[in-house]
Structure 1
Amino acid sequence: MSAEQEEAPAELARLWRLPVPASGLGRPAALDTERVVRTGVELADRDGLTGATLPKIAKELGVSPMSLYRHVGSKDELLVLMRDLALGSPPEVETAPDRWREGLRQWTVAQRLVHHDRPWLPRLPIAGPPMGPHEIAWMEAGLSALSGTELDWAAKVGSLTLLSGYVRHASLLSQEHAQGRSETGLSQEETERAYGRTLARLITPDRFPQVALLFSSGLFESAPEGAYDDPATDHDFVFGLERVLDGIAVAVDRARAGTG
């Protein structure tokens, strides 16, 4: 073990699964951090965040809640550990200088799919900058996509933060829309059509001229069935992502020209 590992705080050591010196004689512990955290992720996948409390994890493992504190220091630490494990490994991304946009697109869509598969993930509080091995691996992949650009480090990190924030917002908004649809039994496409038809009867050009033009344009009638079924190709998500990438492209061009 390196000197850096020996000096790592307990929370960081658990996050990186660094070896912990044995504490005296006796049988090896029946639990470890990996098993506790993996159980928490499995419960969250099944029951949401409310199903992944320390008492419920202990019950699932057949141990006392107090025994978990040898492996997870607190509820807040549990959430940090669960987030890193749940993210998993990042995708392989394009790294060629002229392919940075495709690389970031791959990176962002992969995050969106992880959040779709684990809807509890974007609901976790942001406790600080990336610290865990999976989070750092995602950072490495994102920076690799931008490695052929002339952006400085602050601009690269800012670009990744912007894209991650967009994914988080889009994921939460999608969940809220899905919850609302579950109460009506309508699909997203049916919801949009019903919305357009209802408002078109109420809005008059003399009071809301631009909105009236919008509702008479046929936009809310145009989405085909299934247009929102795939979170990676969802029209609203893709539109927003491309606009964010447009903004990053301006910064990339300015950095290349030396005017950024």
Structure 2
Amino acid sequence: MATDRSSAGDPASTLALLWGEPVATPGRRGPRQAHSPAQVATVAIELADAEGVEAVTIRRVAQALGLSPMALYTYVPGKAELLDLMLDTVYARMPRTEPADDGWRARAAAVADDNRALYRAHPWVAAVSTSRPPLGPGLMAKYEYELRALDGTGLGDVELDAALTYLLGFVQTCARMAADERAARQDSAMSDEAWWAANAELLARVFDPERYPTAARVGAAAGEAHGGAYSPAHAYEFGLRRALDGLAALIEGRQYSAIDRDLHA
């Protein structure tokens, strides 16, 4: 199955679209455009939110705007460039959570929470590959804001970028797993608790707790605590603390080294 990814279109056309630069189209004449790129992006985003990114086609977006598919091509060169416009738009509209305090952990936690909220509002974003990100103003503002959360901690520039990638990668993984959990619940029309209850008798017949004693003990404890095999909220909260602990080891190591150098200077 093909994976939707950013920056899959023509780079020059994409950057011109994202940054509002005019694109030269020799010989093309037509009526004045009735919609802005922001309006096109909004319609496409609403469609993706409701039905998934695979539902976003030039025909569907054009229909929602009251245009012909050929007319929509005067706004966006194609589906790939439209996807970049959608991503950059949701990045630009992201809320900025007020950190609990001025410490780097609180700032980093706020960044993580902001991205989690983004994925909850727009689940399709977590499934799009952004190894080549859309380099528009929305993304650049997001990147600048998020880097500042970890700036001043003693990390070098390459480490700052890697630390942010590590943190956001954790959030994206949690978002994908949460989306899978929601999809399973919708497909089965059952909560996790109801699904396990419905299959308990079968599981009791095939599962030997004496052969898998650790799995039996831990699985029962986790299932009782979460009401199912997996809790997206617990996974995020537990994992975020561990992710910040990992960054703390790196940051505090850098700070200790700096103090040690100063003492021996």
Give TM-score scaled by structure 1 length.
Answer: 0.80
Does 2:158 correspond to 1:154? Answer: yes
Give the distance between the partners of 2:33 and 2:219, measured in 1 at CA. 65
User: What does 1:6-17 correspond to in 2, within 5 Å?
Assistant: 9-17=12-20
User: What does 1:93-112 correspond to in 2, within 5 Å?
Assistant: 93-94=98-99, 99-112=103-116
Relative to structure 1, the CA distance from residue 69 to residue 95 in structure 2 (aligned partners, 3 Å threshold; closer, same or farther) is: farther
**What is the aligned partner in structure 1 of residue 6 from structure 2?**
none
Offset at residue 184 of structure 1 (A):
3.5
Unaligned runs of 5+ in 2: 1-10, 259-265
Among 151, 173, 176, which residue is 1:172 paired with?
Answer: 176
| Identity in percent | 31
Give the distance between the partners of 1:187 and 1:201, measured in 2 at CA. 22
**What is the aligned partner in structure 1 of residue 8 from structure 2?**
none
User: What does 1:185-224 correspond to in 2, within 5 Å?
Assistant: 185-191=189-195, 202-204=206-208, 206-215=210-219, 218-223=221-226
Q: Deviations over 1:137-157 (max 9, x none)?
A: 221121111122001111111
User: What does 1:68-107 correspond to in 2, within 5 Å?
Assistant: 68-87=72-91, 88-94=93-99, 99-107=103-111
Offset at residue 185 of structure 1 (A):
3.3
Give the distance between the partners of 2:199 and 2:252, measured in 1 at CA. 41
Offset at residue 80 of structure 1 (A):
1.0
**What is the aligned partner in structure 1 of residue 263 from structure 2?**
none
Aligned pair count reads 245
Give the distance between the partners of 1:199 and 1:246, measured in 2 at CA. 37
**What is the aligned partner in structure 2 of residue 118 from structure 1?**
122
Confirm or deny: 8 A CA contact 1:38 1:82 kept in the other structure: yes
Confirm or deny: 8 A CA contact 1:41 1:82 kept in the other structure: yes
Unaligned runs of 5+ in 1: 1-7
Give the distance between the partners of 1:240 and 1:194, measured in 2 at CA. 30
Give the distance between the partners of 2:96 and 2:194, measured in 1 at CA. 34
Give the distance between the partners of 1:41 and 1:169, measured in 2 at CA. 21
User: Match of 2:224, as an amino acid?
Assistant: E
**What is the aligned partner in structure 2 of residue 42 from structure 1?**
46
**What is the aligned partner in structure 1 of residue 37 from structure 2?**
33
User: Match of 1:255, as an amino acid?
Assistant: R
Does 2:67 correspond to 1:63? Answer: yes
Offset at residue 194 of structure 1 (A):
6.8
Offset at residue 120 of structure 1 (A):
1.5
Task: Choose between structure 1 and 2 for higher RCO, CA contacts under 8 A separated by at least 6 residues.
Answer: 2
